[in-house]
A and B are shown apart, each in its own frame.
Chain A
Amino acid sequence: MMYTQKIAILAKKELRDAFSSPLIYILAGLFSLMMGWLFFNYLLQSKEMTTTTMTQGVIIPIFGNINFIFIFLCPLITMRSFAEEKKQHTLDLLLRSELTEMQIILGKFISNVLMVFFMLSLTLLFPVILAFSGYSDWGVVGSSYLGIALSVMAYTSVGLFCSSLTDNQIVASLLTFCILLGSMLLVISVNATNNYIFALMIQYMTIPFHYEGFTKGLIRSYSFVYFISFLAFFFLLTLKSLQSRKW
């Protein structure tokens, strides 16, 4: 009980801090503008293409785009978490406190994920609009949201790690962006190899591969294993990075 309470205290403070600064609102505004515009276009297109379903014409591409845009937005949200603390000299305040390093990481992770979820919640309007036109394939919508939730959690964990490496927010966000984009490009470079097993292994390592399953309505247990181990790996890296201040 005590353990989670302390995490909650930190997460609450982080959230209050984030929602009292304009960055999150600017990002949320830009995000909903872009997504709304894309959604509108997909809707118009699907009207012309009578052979495809709503799911294939609207839901799958729009969630593909949401995922892609979060590769740009997540780094901007997570960049400040440790970099700013370092710059303000407040990281030592946290490290000296009763909070363990893991509690600090989890508190920051939860608050950052909630910020991303806040932005994501703005897209809930799309299925509502589709429902008015008689759309009823809620299974795909549900699994897509599950997929995007896991996906942004993975992005956030990368962002936290990069932020813990530097006291410069721009460096932190660029580094996160590079890692995430690199992971995306990995899936393309798989085409270059003729070794089938190797290609499968590489494919398994990338986030988009697992995410795609969710957008098609496929909930595969190994994707959960992948995301959980992905988070654990980056938490471990962040933990080591925080502890390295004591080396």
Chain B
Amino acid sequence: MDIVDMLLNGFYVSLSLSNLLACTVGVLLGTLVGVLPGIGPIGTIALLLPLSFNMNATASIIMFAGIYYGAMFGGSTTSILLNVPGEAASVITCMDGHAMAKKGRGGAALAVAAIGSFIAGTMGLIGLTFFAPMLADAALIFGPPEYFSIAVLGLIILTRLTGTSMLKSSLMAVVGIMLGTIGLDSLTGISRFSFGIDALQRGIEFSVIAMGLFGVSELLETMIQPTIKQRLQKVRFRELYPNQEEWRRSIAPIFRGGMIGFLAGLLPGPAGIISTFASYAVEKKRSKNPQEFGNGAIEGVAGPESANNAAASATMIPLLSLGLPFSAGSAILLSGFMIHGIVPGPTLINQHADLFWGLIASMYIGNVLLLIINLPLVGIFASLLKTPLNILMPIVLVVTITGAYSINNSFFDLALLIGFGILGFFMKRTGYDPAPLIIGLILGPTLETGLTQSLIIGNGNVWSFFTRPISGIILGIGLFIIIYNLSGWGGSWRKDSGY
């Protein structure tokens, strides 16, 4: 096979001493920034770009890619142990991961996250190796009408993800969509709801809001706990790794999560976070005991943590075979290429075959390295919890603030971070779940630009959403879900009126 030969050649390239070293440094850094809340791969790569000037092109691209997918491995750590998401893509892991930690199964959750990440990341790589150009062309069939339909379907499915009250969840999703309208409107060029504040013209950065609502609010929560409770349960060594029952329950979610993440990675948008929400929704729906979700269901860790790794592999497909960065993460990788004079595009695979296959081979190696690094770390991280929270949490806060600042170099974002942290604190106390708000904030702008662009392209014909086959099928599924659930929702509406 041609591809196998080239891949073997890629391994030859990536196993050279300098490239192997670059890969190791990359995945180590990736794990580190993944673990540190708020500090993400984008800021880290941007910071390292100038330092890579003196490095060889292949080595530095291998390193940058390592940071990018390595961060997806580490993101779950603080989500599980401290209920503070390490990356936006690990927000959903807090729900069940932290609940597991409270029950003393934190080690198991960390191990399942690491192994799931490895399996799904490798699944994504296999897809990348054999089908990259074909899948990239298929992804182009999706245009603005399809993005619109996916956003609609996403809002229908994901809004009811975690909360118990339909009314409160919908309200949060609507608030999220409203927050998403802030900033420069792409159709009219008007700056909306920015009140003359420059920073608001940019729009609201969802990772800052996610860090505030989930991370800072949790820090405030620990502050009001009595000191005696401020120690989490100790993890004994025997409990560090999953038992047989937990294994059995994790296998299928890992593979399903891998598939979902892979598909999400092929489409524009923050694939990592969207794929985790989608995987969580699927696992909850398929589970025989959906009430367990939110109280430490291992499927709720295994699925999403696998999904974001497969998404990281899959976002490389449009980037490497078409030169199109579909997310902020792959955009920064693109500059990593360009800074060394390599312009990704349809010609990359042929013109820079060594680099292309070397990079892919290094990602296989990187995934194995990450597993080797992360499994022993489970024990170390778990013992970190022996540190009293009143020492640990302020450190976490400082790191979070640093990370939030680094996204846009904006002080205003810090005000947003703290403001939404306080808001999140009160939301949790009053039973409002922040997850639908994040979903609204992410999908809202896609919904809006998708709608306006489609209407211009379709000469104002609304029916074009239904007559285009893919868009029509997606909207049909959404409609079916609404009708199917109407009776159930009717019940929950009545229940809500008691609030």
Do A and B interact with each other, yes or no? no
